[in-house]
Every structure is written in structure tokens, then in C-alpha cells.
Structure 1
Amino acid sequence: MAKETGWVTRWPERISYGLSDAADNLVFQMMTTYLLFFYTDVYGLSASAVAILFVVARVADVAESFIIGVMIDHTHSKFGKSRPFFLWYAFPYVVFAVLTFITPNFSYSGKVAWAYFTYLGLGFLYTAVNLPITSILPTLSQNSRELTLLGVIRQFFGSSVQIIVAVFTLPLVALFGKGNQQTGFLGTIILFGVISLILILNTFIHVRERYANPTIAHQPLKTVLAMIRHNQPWIVISVSIFMYWLVTSIKNQTTIYYFKYVIGNENLVPLANSFTFTSLIGVLLIMRITETQSKKRTMMSGILTAFIGQAVIAAGVYLDNIPTLFGGIFINSIGNGIIIGLVSIMIADTIRYGVSMGVQAEGILASTDDFGVNFGLGIGGLITAGLFHVSGYVANHNQNAATITMIDVNYVWIPLVIYAGMYFVMRLYDEQRILDEIKG
């Protein structure tokens, strides 16, 4: 059984590890927040076509997360198991990010085919550079507080970039495009892509895998799956991750539609998104709260805070009061910061728990993070695009009453239900089982 050891990493490595998530989020956040809008209102695809694309992509991503996890667990390299993926896949990832926002003058069917090719390729390559961020964490140190610190640093940078992308994307689109959103989106993703490439390669250079047991590091898949069936905490955190990204997808993708078609002022989107900076407060609170509370209780506090914030958002929407709405975003983002900041840390604990059962499978166990991200985003995109299609949404026109109602449902009520569900799922997380083993 693993014993607690001293702090190992130093600040250059900690910062470089954290910047890996910042690098991925430059592209990822633009994709999750603006790609649906880009496809429907800029590229000219129908909401139904985008809904089908998102379903296909998420089915592919389910398989891809598992495949990349298996690839990591079967990688034999002088750099380790997870670290080489930063080097191998950084450049292709950035190339496909740029291709996704190129708008070739094809026929409609050609445009759909281009969207499938670029978006599916981007999904695979995102998994290839993002999953190793989670899988490498438990190999950096065996000290629980240091793993928590590393997870907090990662999410601090990741959340910071999410805010930057949410706030500055549309102004950058306007700057680069000068009235042409196609040119503007392309210029913005090229800028984000170049920065992302530099940061991913920086992570490869500075991080090191230290803790691996060669005798259990490359177990047969049958053995790994047998361990997973008995890793109850991993199952619970996997479901929670899916639910978090489901609610995030639905809210993020609906935000621009809400302000454009319900409020009638899409220029408020950057201002509204600026209030999500409080997610950084939630991330930073993790180190303080976990000094006296378990990670499970800390996570549940984050979910409850997010729920309360979402309720305030509902009040702002139905009272037609923008300050109240912004206040709800402020509170909700604090809770979201706690939730997402703890995810990789708690996955690392389930990986260490797996080691206590004789299986070091950080690749496959960490794949639940990207699986949850991809599956949650896909189902969220399907729900959003599908409901818009059913309600009669027409891009760049005044919307009918059914579509306005559907936007409100997506922006307010579905997230409230999901947050409530997350809270009760997390109650099932058996943290004591992990502590008994990794500290035994």
C-alpha cells in the first residue's frame, strides 16, 4: 500500500503542469462555448445537422477516451507513459483546431462533410493531449496535499483561460474580422492555437513521471476491467464528471442565444462571462477547505453553491433583472470552481486506490475525465441543438415564442435539475475506502 511521502515537485514544474490545462482550454473553451453558434450563425449549418454531428462526435469520443487510455497504459518510453503524448500530439491538435474554424466555400453537403472531418479529428486529438494531464498527476508525487496543490494549480490556470476565452473571444472576432465573423473566428483560433502549442510543449519539457511500479504498470486489459468493477469511488466520480460537463455544455452553449434573442443584446455576453472569474475563488478555496473537510464534503459544498447560484440566475431571468442574473453567475461560478478543481484530484485518488488493488492503470482510469467531458458536451450539445430544432429556431431572425421558452428552459431549469442530481450522486462516494487503503 502506498505511503505518504514528502513534497517532490518544485514551482517551475508545478506551473508547467498547470499551464497544460490552460493550453488545452484555449481551444476547448472556444469549442464548447461558441462552436454551436459558429456552425449555425456563421458557417450556415442547420441546428438539426449540428445536433446529429454532435451525437456522432460524442459516440466517437466515448471510444477515443478509452483507446487513448489504453494507449497510455501500454506506452513504453524513456519519457514515461503519459508525458510523450504532449510531444506527439500537440502540433496535430492545433492544426485541427484551426481547420475546424475554416469556412470553405463548399456546397451545403460539402460544408457538412468538412465539419465532420475537422470536428471529429479535433475531438480525438483533444483527448490525446488532455487525458495525459489527469493520468500523469498521481505519478508526480505520493503526497496527498501536494497532489491537491497540483490539481488546484492546474484548474486555476485552466479556469483563468476559460474566463479569458469567454470574455475576449467575441471582441477578438470583431477585431480580426472587422465585420466578417468568418475571418474573425479564424484569426482568433489561430492566435489561441499558437499559444496552446507553446504551452503544451512547455509541459512536456518540464514535468517528470516519478512514481510507477513496473510490475503492475502494464496489466492486461482484462485485469484492469476487473479492478474497475470494484473501484466504487471511480464509478461515482465518473458519473459526477459527466453530469458536470452536461450542465456546463447546456449553459455555455445557450448563453449567447439567451442574450442575442431573449435580451436582444449579444454584446452583453462578454460582460456576463466576465463574472465567471469567481470560479478562480472556488478553485483557490479548495486548499483551505480541504484542510478541515474531506474532499467529498468539499465537492458537495461546491455543488450546493452552484445550485444556489443557478437559482439566483433563474430569479434574474424571470424578474428580467440583469444585475440579479449577473449575481447568480457570480455565485454559480464559485461552486463550479470547487467542483472542477477537485475532479482531477479525486480521480488521482481513485488511481492510487487501484494501485492498492495491484493495478496501476492511470491511463484507463483517467480516461473517465475526458469521457465525461466529451460525453457530457455531446449530450448537452444534442439537447440544445435538438430542442432548438424542435421549437423552430431560425438563425439570425426573431425567434418564435416556443424557441424563447426553450432557451429559458436550457439556460435555467435543466441546469437546476442536473445540479440537484449531482449532489445526490456524490453522496454515494466512498472516500473512506480510499483513505483506508492509500494510507494503510
Structure 2
Amino acid sequence: METKKLRFSEKMAYGLGDFPEVINSILAAFLTMFYTDNIGMAAGAVGTMFFISKLFDGITDILAGVLIDKTRTKWGKARPWLLWLAVPTGFAAALIFWIPQNASQTTQLIYAFLTFNLFSSVMFTITGIARSSLLALMTQDMKQRGAMAAFGMFFGLGGTILGMSATFPLIYRFGGDVKAWRIVFTIYGIVTTLGLLYAFCFSKEYVTSVEKSTTNEESKLGFAEEVKLFFTNKYLLIALVMTVLVNFVTQVNSAAQTYFYTYTMNDPMLTTSLNLVSVVPIIVSIVVFVGPCLAKFGKKKTMYIGILGQIIGFVVRGIAGTLQSVPLLIAGTIIGGIVTGLLAVPVSTLFADGIDYGEWKTNKRIEGMGAAITSFSQKISSGLALASVGWVLALTGFVANEVQNAATNNGIIALFGWVPAIVLVVIFLIIRFAYKYDEIAEQIVIDLDTRKKQ
């Protein structure tokens, strides 16, 4: 059953379970601007609030991982959390935008911190770790995992791009004021809830551990033991570092884009049109290119292709910002989109491979803790990306709703293009010199299967 071909509905369930990540990415792109331009909060204070929030978020990641690893129900240990938190997650996302408009800056910061963390540190954390754990719990077949990751990328990244494209038009359609923001994100909250309910109903945990196959019972590991198992597993550490860096590239570009289009390119509606331009290349990348490339080249070489294409795309977009050239911006967007899946899909499966590697070494599986620590580092990188935008804006003299000075524009262009390209070079070096799992993956699955049969 662990290597059986998953049904379409099961792969789709894994994909739709990524809707909390979709709304989290949309928040990363728009929430800073909502706070600064619509509520009137200081950019530097908002950036610091995000960074502190992500540190707090990291603590809840670890707690959620332990919680999931200790969960035992008839539905499994990860799936039930998708059901239990489906409605609260959608509600928490909408609540962020009910910040009091006429309150003091201190009151607004407290409300922003509490509501943002209710969604990000609690609801999104638990549902995200539960959903990530399903990649290791639904199958041990690398091709099936690749297919699941492709579905996750299709709905996750596709939903994010469509959401970002639709947000400004919907806000303007509903009046363009704070009330419009509340209506739009209430709709997004409802969609998120429906996605989580589908994910619960149509997924199933098939994978059992060697320990359970041997004793018919899986021991509940202590917190210290789980942490030790994670940090002594080199492939979970590689997954952690890769997730941090790839997420930072995505989030810093995403968080800077609304400022880039509004102030550098002088056209906020480019947020919609350029995100729509990227949809087709990204879909083609995920649906057409990922599977054949993984089958022919393996993960390592597929990630090489993705990195090189992304670097070219970001460099072209950086040049486009400097020249204020929309045609170059379109070209960079298409180039980056067509190779997106070739990096993002393989990276999203590294964690599950690390879980198998750890069981191969120790006979212990730590899906919850593995997903938690990976999520922890991912959120730290997201917080750093969001904070970087706020800090750069504050340091370069940003003034909301005004023409920006040269220093601010250069800072925005750097965050949108040059910084992601530099980080991608670092990612290439890590894969080149540290990642060798492709060489042992097949033998690991065979050995684990043999132990269970014995």
C-alpha cells in the first residue's frame, strides 16, 4: 500500500490542503502595504512587528510538530488537524483586516501582532505542518511524491498568483477602502476553509513505520529525542537550509512587488497583469516539464536547471526596474515562471526523503517534528523577508503615497531582483557540494520495505 499509485482525488487533496499557504503568501505580498498605506502605520514598526512575530511563530512550529507526532486517531496523526482547524483558519485570516482604523499606533500594533499571530503562528502553523507531513505519510514512492508535490505547487503557487492578481481589482471593485479589504479577505478565508475540508476528506495516511510493522505499536518519542533525530540527519538539515533559502527568494520578491509596481514602475495594476502573465509559464513548468525532467535527470540536475533559469529571470527583472521597461519585465517574468517548478517541486520533496533516510538509519520516523523544524526555519526566512522590505523602506526614506527618492527606488529594485538572484547562487553551491541523496534513494526504500516484510 505504501507504493501504490495514489488516486487523482488524493493528489488533489494534497494540493488543496496548501490553501493556508496561499493566503499566507498573499498576506506577505499585500499586508505591509495595507498597514502603511491604508491604516497609516509606520513602515519600520510594521517590519519589526513581522520579524518578532516570525520568531514567536517558530516556537509554535516546534510545539505543533510534537503535537502531530503524538496524535493517534482513526484518521491518522496529521489528517485530523485539517478537519479540526478548517473553520478557525479561515476566520483568523479575515480577522487580521478588522484592525481599528482610528485607534492609536500602539493599539493598532498590538491588534496587528495578535491577529497576525493567531493566523500565522497558530492556525497556519498547525495545518501547514499537518499537510506537509502527509507527503511522507501517504507514500514512500519518489515518483508519487513528485506527483503530489507538483499538485501542491499547482494549487499553491497557482492559487497564490491568481489571488495576487485578483486582490487589487477586487478591492477596487468593492470601493478601495478598508471595508473592501475586509470583504476580499473574508472571501479568501472561506475558500481556505473549503480547501482544508476537501484535503481532510480525500486524503489517507498509508505509510507505516518499521517499528509499527514489527511491534504493531509506534512509540511516542520525547521532544529532546525528536530534536536529536532531526539534527543528526544530514538530509533533513539540507532540506531545512534549502527550504529557508528558496522561501526567502520567493517571499522577498513577493513582499517587494507591490512597492515595485506602484512606486518604481508607477503602475500598481501591473501587480495584476504581471502575475497573470506568469500563470501560463508556471503551469507549463509544473504540468509539462517537472515530471520528465525528474525522470530523466533526477532531482539534482533538475534543480540546477531551475536555479539557472530563475537567476536569469531575476536579473532581467532587475534590469527592467532600472530602465522602467515593461517589455523586459514581461520577459523576466516569463523566464522565471517557466522554470519555477523545476526548483520548487524537488525542494518540497526533500523533507519527506529525509524522513525515510532517518528511518533507514534509526527505525524512527519523525514526520511531525521534521515538518515543524522545516516550517520553523521557513517562517523565520519569511519574517526576515517581510522585515527586510520594511527596514529597507525605512532606511531609504520611504514616504507612503508619494514619489520616492532614488535610494528608495534602488532598494526596492534590489529586493525585487538582485537579492533573489544572489541567494539563488548560494542555493546552487549547496546542491552542488552537499546533496547526494539521488544516489541512495532507491536502496533506502528497498531496505525499509525488506525490514517490514521480515
Q: Please give the TM-score of this superposition, normalised by the length of structure 2.
A: 0.91
Gaps of 5+ in 1: none
| Residue aligning to 1:320 | 324
What SS does the corresponding residue of 1:294 show, helix, strand or coil?
helix
| Residue aligning to 1:122 | 119
**Among candidates 7, 11, 15, match of residue 8 of structure 2:** 11
CA shift for structure 1 position 217 = 5.5
Residues 109, 226 of structure 1: alpha-carbon distance in 2 compared, 3 angstrom cutoff: closer
- Larger deviation, residues 11-20 vs 116-125: 11-20
Instruction: Measure, in 2, the Cα distance between the counterparts of 1:345 and 1:420.
Output: 21
- Give the AA of the match of 2:47: A
Question: How do 1:353-392 residues align onto structure 2 when only pairs under 5 Å count?
Answer: 353-357=357-361, 358-392=363-397
- Are 1:12 and 1:206, in contact at CA under 8 Å, matched by a contact in 2? yes
CA shift for structure 1 position 188 = 0.7
- Are 1:131 and 1:370, in contact at CA under 8 Å, matched by a contact in 2? yes
CA shift for structure 1 position 433 = 4.2
4+ residue segments displaced more than 6 Å: none
- Larger deviation, residues 377-386 vs 137-146: 137-146
| Residue aligning to 1:131 | 129
- Give the AA of the match of 1:59: L
Question: How do 1:373-412 residues align onto structure 2 when only pairs under 5 Å count?
Answer: 373-412=378-417
Q: Does 2:104 match 1:107?
A: yes
After superposition, give the CA deviation of every residue in 1:252-295 in whole Å (9 maximum; x if it has no partner). Answer: 11111112112211122211111221222222222111111111
- Are 2:76 and 2:205, in contact at CA under 8 Å, matched by a contact in 1? yes
Instruction: Measure, in 1, the Cα distance between the counterparts of 2:64 and 2:421.
Output: 33
CA shift for structure 1 position 250 = 1.3
| Residue aligning to 1:229 | 231
| Residue aligning to 1:162 | 160
- Larger deviation, residues 295-304 vs 194-203: 295-304
After superposition, give the CA deviation of every residue in 1:275-317 in whole Å (9 maximum; x if it has no partner). Answer: 2212222222221111111112212221111111112212322
- Give the AA of the match of 1:437: I
CA shift for structure 1 position 210 = 1.6
- Give the AA of the match of 2:28: T
- Are 1:245 and 1:377, in contact at CA under 8 Å, matched by a contact in 2? yes
| Residue aligning to 2:285 | 282
What SS does the corresponding residue of 1:36 show, helix, strand or coil?
helix
**Among candidates 337, 342, 348, match of residue 346 of structure 2:** 342
- Give the AA of the match of 2:164: A
Question: How do 1:29-428 residues align onto structure 2 when only pairs under 5 Å count?
Answer: 29-104=25-100, 105-124=102-121, 125-176=123-174, 178-180=175-177, 182-213=178-209, 214=212, 215-216=217-218, 218-277=220-279, 278-284=281-287, 285-357=289-361, 358-427=363-432, 428=434
What SS does the corresponding residue of 2:76 show, helix, strand or coil?
coil
- Give the AA of the match of 2:227: L
- Residues paired across the two proteins, number: 434
| Percent identical | 25
Instruction: Measure, in 1, the Cα distance between the counterparts of 2:96 and 2:49.
Output: 13
What SS does the corresponding residue of 2:269 show, helix, strand or coil?
helix
What SS does the corresponding residue of 2:41 show, helix, strand or coil?
coil
- Give the AA of the match of 1:82: A
What SS does the corresponding residue of 2:347 show, helix, strand or coil?
helix
- Are 2:80 and 2:200, in contact at CA under 8 Å, matched by a contact in 1? yes
What SS does the corresponding residue of 1:45 show, helix, strand or coil?
coil
CA shift for structure 1 position 174 = 0.9
Residues 207, 166 of structure 1: alpha-carbon distance in 2 compared, 3 angstrom cutoff: same
CA shift for structure 1 position 359 = 1.1
CA shift for structure 1 position 424 = 0.8
- Give the AA of the match of 1:370: S
Instruction: Measure, in 2, the Cα distance between the counterparts of 1:141 and 1:412.
Output: 37
After superposition, give the CA deviation of every residue in 1:19-62 in whole Å (9 maximum; x if it has no partner). Answer: 111x2244222211111111111121101111111111110121
After superposition, give the CA deviation of every residue in 1:319-345 in whole Å (9 maximum; x if it has no partner). Answer: 332111111011112333222222332
Instruction: Measure, in 2, the Cα distance between the counterparts of 1:353 and 1:74.
Output: 21
CA shift for structure 1 position 398 = 1.7
Instruction: Measure, in 2, the Cα distance between the counterparts of 1:69 and 1:25.
Output: 17
Q: Please give the TM-score of this superposition, normalised by the length of structure 1.
A: 0.94
What SS does the corresponding residue of 2:71 show, helix, strand or coil?
coil
Gaps of 5+ in 2: 448-454
- Give the AA of the match of 2:11: R
- Larger deviation, residues 139-148 vs 152-161: 139-148
- Are 1:73 and 1:217, in contact at CA under 8 Å, matched by a contact in 2? no
What SS does the corresponding residue of 1:395 show, helix, strand or coil?
coil
Residues 139, 437 of structure 1: alpha-carbon distance in 2 compared, 3 angstrom cutoff: same
